[in-house]
Structure 1
Amino acid sequence: MTEQQSTPRASGHVGNYVKGIIYRLVPSGGGQLNPRSRAQLAQLRRGVGKEPGSVPEIWDLTLDGLDGAGQGQAATPEENAVHIALTMFSVHQQAKPMLMHTSTPFGQAVRRLASTLESSSEDVHEGPVYRRFTQLATAASLDELTHHARALVTQMRSADVGFDYGRFADDLVAFQDPRRVSEVQRRWARDFHHLRSNGSAPSTDQPETTSSSVPPEGVSA
């Protein structure tokens, strides 16, 4: 397979919000977290699988200043996406000295995980990571998607594989629009299969540039 070039996709306003919160919690270069950040990440972990807004301890992280917060009873797509992305990140970052939010697209991170865990003789498309990935991509509900995402993120944490939570959050917004589900599925599939000529995924698992780490409007540093 020939090497393909991809242009990094800029984050939308939800992705920028998520990145702003992440950089508020964890230094862009990683390192020791302060007690407040550790406590906030622990609070976010308690929100995994729960409804947005149902955990008061994380309101300031998942709702404060979010453009797209709703007025009715149901959570908006933006609120759902921020809640899922930040709670998944809190699981991913647990006990890690390096920042697990990187510039790697989600699909490429899954491919890297599959290549790490599966034997060299095994087709990555036949392994459990790929099966979990396809189950996530075809999830019929956000609860189902969150279940599969948590399983993959837990494995990524063990394998030291990070990904771009800003773009992931934007994908989650689009995934909730029936007209855009195939767009997200196609993007994840392309990223998974974006290979170099030697069969390996491009090495993009690195922190974003400083300009990307500026918190969005409404998010304090």
Structure 2
Amino acid sequence: MTKPTLHFSVGNTASSLQRSYLDRAETAAGADARRVLAELRQSAARSFSADPLALQKVLLLLEPPLSDEELGRGDDPSPSELAAYNALTLFAQHMQSATKPVHTTECSFARACGRLQTLSESNSIKPRFDAMQSARDEASRVLHLRSLVTLLRSKELAFDYGSFARDLRSLQYPARREGVLLRWGRDYAVGTLRPKAQRAAEAEPEITSPFANS
């Protein structure tokens, strides 16, 4: 059995597109990245049945490609294929008009959503996140995810699309689903608490030791 590549493949592909889009905007690579991201956004707006080539485009884009075990065999996309498709179309949505990176390995999706709550004046972030977590089918979950990604884009908040794709795959397996949702709930809480703790620490007066100058 070959080693699964979904996590690295999606993360590496997102990094490459992001680098070309942001750092090589005036080059052929930059123009190609803009075209690819626009096509991904268009695919996201249609169903697989309406755009039968959508999955093919994503699979050809992935570098490295998915392992043989992750590829589908029948008429429906495999869990890994669907996770890669949803992650990269969401990434394309996130990258629209971006001036800063939206993919980073330093922050998880749920933690970024928690951070979004601290930056937003709206009280709808937590209900949106909860609705996404409680969704019982893929279509509903992705609909809520697209709403959250739009809000993350508005606040220029980035997250790790590689680990996000791996989690999207795990959510398709009942035995793994609860573990992912538990971790997302924890990460969301950490995302809301850490900025507050940091601000509190910054607000505390500096204590100078009476022996500092002795």
Which of the pair has the greater relative contact order for Cα pairs under 8 Å at 6+ separation? Answer: 1
Moved over 6 A (4+): none
**Range 184-193 or range 16-25, more displaced:** 16-25
RMSD of Structure 2 on Structure 1 (CA)? 2.4
Whole-angstrom distance in 2 between the partners of 1:110 and 1:200: 17
1:7 aligned partner: none
Larger mean CA deviation between 174-183 and 54-63 belongs to 54-63
Residue 64 to residue 54, structure 1, CA distance change in 2 (3 Å) = farther
Equivalent residue runs for 1:102-181 within 5 Å:
102=104, 103-118=106-121, 127-181=123-177
Offset, 1:76: 0.5
Correspondences of 1:1-221 after superposition (within 5 Å): 13-27=5-19, 30-33=22-25, 34-48=30-44, 50-51=47-48, 54-55=53-54, 56-61=56-61, 65-67=65-67, 68-102=70-104, 103-118=106-121, 127-194=123-190, 195-196=193-194, 198-199=196-197
Q: 8 Å contact 1:78–1:173 — kept in the other structure?
A: yes
Following TM superposition, by how much is the alpha carbon of 1:137 offset from its aligned partner in structure 2, in angstroms?
0.9
**What is the aligned partner in structure 1 of residue 212 from structure 2?**
none
- C-alpha displacement at 1:199, in angstroms? 3.8
**CA distance 1:53–1:167, change in 2 (3 Å):** farther
* Contact persistence 2:5–2:64 (CA under 8 A): no
Q: After TM superposition, give the deviation of residue 118 of structure 1 in Å.
A: 2.5
Question: What is the TM-score normalised by the length of structure 1?
Answer: 0.75
Residue 6 of structure 1 corresponds to which residue in structure 2? none
Measured against aligned partners, the alpha-carbon deviations of 1:15-68 in whole angstroms (never above 9, x if no partner) come to 111012112212189434311010000011112153395425444125982121
Query: 152-161 or 191-200: which moved more?
Result: 191-200
Higher deviation after alignment, 35-44 or 64-73: 64-73
Higher-helix-fraction structure: 2
**1:58 & 1:76 partners in 2: Cα distance?**
13
Distance 1:134 1:37 in 2: 33
TM-score (norm 2): 0.77
**Letter matched to residue 93 of structure 2:** V
Contact conserved, 1:100 with 1:163, CA < 8 A, in 2?
Answer: yes
Q: Is the 8 A contact 2:132 2:144 kept in 1?
A: yes
More displaced stretch, 51-60 vs 175-184:
51-60
Find the aligned partners of 1:157 and 1:165 in 2 and give their Cα distance: 14
The percent identity for this pair of structures is 31
Deviation at 1:13, TM superposition (A): 2.6
May I ask how many residue pairs the two structures share in their alignment? 183
> Which consecutive unaligned segments of at least 5 residues does structure 2 have?
200-214
